[in-house]
Amino acid sequence: LESLQERESLGSTGFGRGVAIPHARIDGVPRPVAVLMRLDNAVDFAAADGMPVDLVFGLLSPQNAGASHLHALAAISRLVRDEAMHQAMADASDPEALYALLTNVSDRDAA
């Protein structure tokens, strides 16, 4: 958590449109790990558009991840910039529906 706070102190990871992508590189993390949280109550993330955040993609990568960390951030960014996907994530009725959306994207991109 401390590494995420340190990264956030460099500048907000509030992406805009109610999305934040906090991320950090950490010793001891064996491979990139992402988590998606949809918050019941939106929070201020100092996003450029001023919108409070209710969709948080967290990304932790090994300290030496280099390009793989940047590629993961770029993939998340593309995902949330896609208007249809953004709306589908906002409309997902429960965590299982949200997970299914992301799984379908992952399967589609792997093909």
Catalytic residue annotation = 23
Closest by alpha carbon to 90, among 44, 46, 55, 49? Answer: 55
Q: Which residues does residue 4 pair with via DSSP β-bridges, in sequence order? A: none
Burial pattern 77-101, b for ≥16 Cβ within 10 A else e, equals eebbeeeebbebbeebeeeeebeeb
- Residue given tokens 């010793």 in the structure block: 27
Question: Can you say whether the dihedral through the CA atoms of 14, 94, 90, 41 is positive or negative?
Answer: negative
